[in-house]
Amino acid sequence: MTSLSDQSTPAQFQPLNAPIDELLLAEIKSAILVKLTLGIGKEPSFATKHDWYKAAALTLRDRVVHRWLLSEKESYDGGRKRVYYLSLEFLIGRLFTDALNNMGLLPVFRAALEDLGVGLDELRKCEPDAALGNGGLGRLAACFMESMSTLAIPAYGYGIRYDFGLFKQVISKGWQKEYPDEWLGFGNPWELPRPEVVYHIHFGGSVEVVDDAKGHQRSVWHPGETVEAVAFDTPIVGWRGQHVNALRLWSARAPDPLRLDVFNSGDYVSASAEQSRAEAICKFLYPNDESAAGRELRLRQEYFFVSASLQDLVKRHLESEGNLRGLANKAAVQMNDTHPSLAIAELMRILIDVHNMRWDAAWQITNATLSYTNHTLLPEALETWPVELMERLLPRHLEIIYRINVAHLDRADAIRPGDTGYRASVSIIDESAGRRVRMGNLAFIGSHRINGVSAMHSELMKETVFRDLNQLYPGRITNKTNGITFRRWLTLANPKLTDLLRATCGEAVLDDPTRLIKLEAYAGDAAFQQEFRKVKHHNKLALARVIGEKLGVQADPSALFDVQIKRIHEYKRQLLNIVETVALYQAMKDEPNKNWVPRVKIFAGKAAASYRYAKLIIKLANDVAQMVNNDESIKGQLKVAFLPDYNVSLAEIIIPAADLSEQISTAGMEASGTGNMKLSLNGALTIGTLDGANIEIRDNVGPENIAIFGMTAEEVVTRRNNGLDASDVINKSPNLGRAIQAIETGFFSPDDPGRFGGIGHALRHLDHYMVSADFDSYYDAQRSVDARWQAGSAWSRAAILNTARMGWFSSDRTIREYAEDIWHVPVASQMPTTFAQLVRKAT
């Protein structure tokens, strides 16, 4: 795709608020009414908002499918290489307005629905967020899918069609409670069932070694259980509708859903036991793996979607090419994190056992086809499975893994002969504490490229979790810094800012985010700053309404909105933010008449159901909120809000309203982050550590336009090596000591004074995540933030420069790098250049 900023005569786009084509408007209205009556079975006068939403969505889907089929035909006719993106999560959010926006049909649908007496904004609320992911991993996968469509890269996303997703989070008396997220309760107009696309997924049984017709020994797997994977396709529309790809999700069912003989005998429960066991695979994302049954279900999930996906792509390849020798030339498989790493063993099984390929040839194809994105430096987050579990559930795959490991260890011995420690470190089998299969090692060994997701993360991979493997396979690790799709996080989430950017940078900024740099010339302009602040204030009013409706807390939109929205985890350090909140609250009580900067501390995020400490942190945040929000002595200068059930749609309200972006993970532990990019794009200043993509954000926006604090990754390692006791820093910090004392002695939990005693003990003596060690630096950085906020114009200038300098963080740039360096696929050479072209494609 040629960057518009590189063209000598920039393409001119008709503004999106241009007059609406009356013929198209009439066609859309007619189509919606037809869908309502014939597709939904309702007369307009009896239709509910949900009926209208579904009719409008199906009308739009018809136009999307038309472009989708054309995209498929073009890629097949051209013999193009395809990308297959394997991810356990796809956090796609609501698709209705996203697809309307990308197809260029948002204005005409809005007008058509208004003419029919319904509001598009109200209908949008009828669509639930697709419960297909949890946090950054899934949102990144969604952004990447959209960017692949935008760049016209033929691609399939592969995942699981979860019935209930992770869970619906409800905060009850300050505690997180988990309930099923029934997002499919009213059906899903975006998915197209493919009942004809079914694959058998096998588990258990035994492996027999037999002689084939040529006298060669081969293994034959006799499975003990079979589950069927059924496909459901969702179209993913690229910007300006030029290309549409498919997200293919798998649902599980038993081959025999009801044992009729058992049912007729009166044992009604047992009659459907096989179906229930199969369906458990796609009930929830990340089932609780504290129990042996939970761990087995997790492994079944991962193999289920990997096997179905690889069988599907191999079938597609054979239909078009006739043989598998050139698979790597026509297919690139990207494993998003370690969850799909069984793809290495499964592809080997398919090539060897099903298609009778020799081992060396199969290994060469597997290695050339697969690549692996690592998202964590936490060794405990790199999955391992007990050998006993894998032997029982996937015996043939364990055999293949053993054979891969033999050749791999021979290579290690050749490079470091006699070094048993090195051999143990790089082995796929961990023998140190019960024999376990290291899935991260398997993914590394079986892939031709391994990428980190920020510059710092990729370098640390070479030095920490994959240091020894990097020595054994030098040159495999590369960096691909994450990106975000500006179409959702700017155009859709922040339309008023988008209008200001279009007026300032030109219409082409919608297609080329590098044009945001034109804002730099206006960063110091008083009139522009005022317009920029008006947009932010409008968005803060909207968020304040949500906080009031959900929590009953009155948030002053003129206050500084301080936002931390992400998965609740110790390394992300929501606890550091809460402790600073307590210290600030205490300081305000000491000096209530001081000229404090009014703040609204906004938290959102889910803790894993089994992560008790993270759930205790949520309780602490809510207990602190209860005390602070009802203390009249601080005159409303500090408010705390924990918004429940964080998802994409809530993020679209919070992010445009944020003034300050909390990116405060312990240095060296966050791979990248993408929330930091979304918030900065929308004019929030970042307070953060030198961790993940914060470093690249600092390099792009300028060190003067970001608040960096805390220890570096190297300093964190040094301090940990010297012990985790934090008494030294607490003794030197009266603010920290007093805040911890209030937390641990029950000031915020008078109903249960000992509730947070464990948190106090950890802050004092088990400071693994450096909450106490980094507190003073963080507190001082927050007071510097206060000073800049009070300066007014200086804050506005920095906020504008954050938006102006974020163009590089587009997921289109990231996907282009994947395409060129890892997948070796071409990208679109040119975007549609006129709005008329867009409308023709859409209709």
- The helix or strand, by DSSP H or E, that contains position 324, with its residue range, turns out to be none
Phi-psi sector, 157: left (phi>0), alpha (psi -120 to 50), beta: beta
Which residue among 240, 566, 569, 619 is the active-site one? 566
Query: What is the spatial distance between Cα 430 and Cα 434, in angstroms, rounded to a whole number?
Result: 8
Query: What is the spatial distance between Cα 555 and Cα 546, in angstroms, rounded to a whole number?
Result: 10
What backbone phi and psi angles, to 5 degrees, belong to 42?
A: -130, 145
Which residue among 572, 573, 764, 841 is the active-site one? 572
* 403 noted as active-site residue: no
Only one residue has tokens 């089932």, namely 287
- What separation in angstroms does the CA of 805 have from each of 107, 363, 641, 701, 809? 29, 44, 30, 5, 9
- The helix or strand, by DSSP H or E, that contains position 156, with its residue range, turns out to be strand 155-160
* 689 noted as active-site residue: no
**Token pair for 314:** 């191999």
Query: What is the spatial distance between Cα 638 and Cα 10, in angstroms, rounded to a whole number?
Result: 48
What letter represents residue 659's amino acid? D
Which residue among 67, 476, 567, 599 is the active-site one? 567
**Token pair for 385:** 């499975």
* 550 noted as active-site residue: no
Only one residue has tokens 């030029």, namely 242
Strands (DSSP E) contained in 701-828 are 707-708
* 315 noted as active-site residue: no
Which residue among 373, 376, 581, 674 is the active-site one? 674
* 567 noted as active-site residue: yes
Which residue among 601, 678, 788, 816 is the active-site one? 678
Which alpha helices (DSSP H) does 432-525 contain, by range? 439-446, 455-463, 467-472, 486, 495-505
**Token pair for 822:** 């890892």
What's the distance, CA 253 to chain centroid? 27
Which residue among 375, 457, 573, 816 is the active-site one? 375
What number of helices (H) and strands (E) belong to the chain?
Answer: 35, 22
Query: What is the spatial distance between Cα 534 and Cα 528, in angstroms, rounded to a whole number?
Result: 10
Closest-CA residue to 362 (of 351, 349, 354, 346): 351
Q: Within 13 Å, how many C-alpha atoms sit on residue 623's CB side?
A: 22
**Token pair for 39:** 């597709």
What letter represents residue 555's amino acid? A
* 330 noted as active-site residue: no
| 687 DSSP β-pair partners | 662, 707
Residues taking part in catalysis: 375, 566-567, 572, 674, 678
